[in-house]
Each structure stands twice: as C-alpha cells, then as structure tokens.
Structure 1
Amino acid sequence: MDSFSPTERQQLELQGWLVLPGVLSAAELATMHAAWERLAAALPNEGASTNWGPDLDTEPTFAVCRTHPSVLAALGVLLDNDVHVRRLHGRSPPRGHGRQGLHVDWSSPAPPGRQILANAFWVLDDLTRDNGATRIVPGSHRWARVPRGHYAQPQGVHPEERVLEAHAGDVIVFSSHLWHAGSCNDSGRRRRVVLAQFGRRELASVHEEYR
C-alpha cells in the first residue's frame, strides 16, 4: 500500500471507491478493443440489452485485469488483503439502455467493518454522463442495508449520489456493497467496461452474479 496516500486510503475505507488514473497504456487499450470486438462478433444478440457484453474469463488479453498490482492493492484496502478474483465480464450498453436502479452485488447487507466483495471496473472508453457512466452513493457500503423502494428503481435518484466519469485506461475500484448503478447511454457513444469482481477466499464456491 506504499503507492497510496493516506487520503486515498481514507477515501477507499470511508467512501468506498477510488479512481486509479492511466492504469492501461494506449497500446494495451488497442489490444483490448480488438479482443473485445472479436468476442462480441460471436455473440448472437450483440448490443441487445442493458447488461450486454462478452464473457472475458478465459480471454488471455484481459488477464491483467486479474493481476495488476496497484489495482489489487486498492482492492486489498476494502477486503483486508484477502483478494481473490471471481469473474470477468464485459458491459457496453447501447443507445437508450444501461439505466439501472441502485443496487449492491450481494443478496444481503455487509457489516460496515468487513466488506466481502469488491469491484474493479476497467474503463476501455471514456465514461461520461451521457454514455452511461456509473452512479454511486459514497459511503453507502457502511450503511449495512441495501437499496429499496424508489432508490432501487431505474429512475430513482439518491440525494447523495454522484456520477463517476473516467478516462479510457482508468480503473474504478469500489466496494460491491456500495450502492451503485449504471446510467443510460443517451449519446450512443461506446461505453465498454471490463467488470472484474473480487471476493474473500471464503466465497470461492459461492456463485452470486452481477446485477
């Protein structure tokens, strides 16, 4: 954790998220774009739904998404260094899709002092308000409750939520217990993200999916 400032560590612990800028080089991004297009071409319903994207678990091009030391270090702050990859998946909502209700990636609340899941979103295209950037509610991973009612509906808005804009090559690390959701891709511009989920070793045989 020597590469993180006290402020960044505090942000991860108390707010539940951190953007790591420029993790991927232009050459790495180009290679991932090409691999994504190859995999996407084999999908029968390309671009058809909100959660569309290729399965990346067995694609060697994306192996770095499992092992990058700076990303694993950030995840370690959330998971007490008990960091084990669960799955890799792509997401690229087409125009008019991508809006989700606020949710968490586990079926029940986690204790404030012991997160059990965390995400690393590898940004392959610039994320902006108009192409479906992720919404989060900072600090909600410590509330020990999950979104319900209005907040869990696609058009629900929490008064404390913010939109995480990021550049291609950045990585967004956040607790899976943080209230979060995709936004609508209004512009139709590409919004490819590699969703890498990590958990504590105790979850190795537990299969709960992204929502």
Structure 2
Amino acid sequence: MDSLSSTERRQLELQGWLLLPGVLTAEALAPMHAAWERLTAALPNEGANTNWGPGLDTEPAFSICRTEPRVLAALGVLLDDDVHVRRLHGRSPPRGHGRQGLHVDWSSPTPPERQILANAFWVLDDMARDNGATRIVPGSHRWARMPRGPCAQPQGHHPGERVLEARAGDVIVFSSHLWHAGACNESGRRRRVVLAQFGRRELASMNEEYG
C-alpha cells in the first residue's frame, strides 16, 4: 500500500471507493480498444439492446487489469491484501440502456471490517452523466445491509448517491459491497468499461458466481 497516500487509504476505508486518474495512457488504451472491437465484431447482435460486453479473461491486451501495482494496492486496502482476481468482463450500454437499481455484488450483508469482494472499473471511454456513469452511495459498504425498496429499482435514487465521472484511462476501485449501479446512456456516446472483480482467496473454492 506504499503507493497510496494516507488520504487515499482513508477514503477507501471510510467511503469505499477511489478514483485513480490516468492509470493508462492513450498508447496503452489502443490495444484494449482493438481487442474489444475484434471480440464484439465476432458477436455483432449480442449487445444491441443490453448492457452486454465481451468476456476478457483470456485476452492479453487486458492482462494489466490483473497486475497494475497501484490498483492492486487500492484493492488491498479493501481486502486486507488478500487480493485474487476472479474475472474480467466488459460492459458497454447502448443508447437508452444501462440504468440499474442500486445493488451490491454479494448475496448477503458483510461486516465493514471484512469486505469479501472488490471491483476495479477500467474506463476505456470518457464516462459522464449523459452516457451511463456509475452511481455509488459513499460509505454504504459499512452499513452491513442490502439496498431495498425504491432505491433498488432502476428508476430509484438514494439521497446520498454520487455519479462518478471519469476519463478514458482512469480506474475506479470500490468495494463490491458498496451500493452502486449503472446509469442510462442517454447520449449514445460509447461507454466501454472493463469490470475486473477481485476477492479473497477463500472464494476460489466457491462455485457460486456473484456480481
């Protein structure tokens, strides 16, 4: 965790999320974009009206999503350095899609001192309010409860929610137990994101998929 400041570590602990700007340069993004296009061209009808994105676990262009030191350090704050990759997949909501209800990526509440899963969202295109930026409720990973009622419905809101805007090349790290959701891509501008999920080693023996 030496690559993170004390302020960054405290934000992860108390708010459950951290934006790491400029992790990837334009040159580093280029092979990711090319691989994404190749994969989606092979399945042209798969994501026409959904939040679909390609599976990326075996793609060499995305190997950095498993190994980048500063991202792993941030994940380590949430998972007590017990950080093991579970899966990589893409998401790119088309115009008019992407809105989700607030949710978590685990099946039950967890104590704040023992988070089980954490996410790193690798932003491949600029992400803003008009193209489906991720919504979060800062600090909700410490509440040990699940989203219920209107806020868990796609059109619902939480009074404490925040929209995370980011630039291509940024990475957003957050607890999978943080209340979060995608927003609607109203503009139709591309919003490709690599969702890299990490968990504690104990999850390797579990068969159930989360997230």
TM-score of the pair, normalised by structure 2? 0.97
Give the superposition deviation at 1:120: 0.1
**1:3 aligns to what?**
3
Question: How many residue pairs are counted as aligned between the two chains?
Answer: 210
Give the superposition deviation at 1:153: 0.1
| Partner AA of 1:107 in structure 2 | S
**2:139 aligns to what?**
139
**1:209 aligns to what?**
210
Q: 1:161 and 2:166 equivalent?
A: no
Give the superposition deviation at 1:192: 0.2
Q: 1:98 and 2:98 equivalent?
A: yes
Identity of aligned residues (%): 84
- 1:102-142 deviation per Cα after TM superposition (whole angstroms, max 9, x unaligned): 00001101111110000000000000000000000000000
Aligned Cα root-mean-square deviation (Å): 0.9
| Partner AA of 1:23 in structure 2 | V
- Structure 1 residue matching 2:195: 3-state secondary structure: strand
Alignment map for 1:14-163 (pairs within 5 Å): 14-163=14-163
- Structure 1 residue matching 2:54: 3-state secondary structure: coil
Unaligned ranges ≥5, structure 2 = none
| Partner AA of 1:11 in structure 2 | Q
Q: Runs of at least 4 residues of structure 1 off by over 2 A?
A: 44-51
Give the superposition deviation at 1:149: 1.1
Give the superposition deviation at 1:205: 2.5
TM-score of the pair, normalised by structure 1? 0.97
Paired with 1:49 and 1:150, the residues of 2 have a C-alpha distance of 24
Unaligned ranges ≥5, structure 1 = none
- 1:13-69 deviation per Cα after TM superposition (whole angstroms, max 9, x unaligned): 000000001001111111110100000111252432432100001111101101111
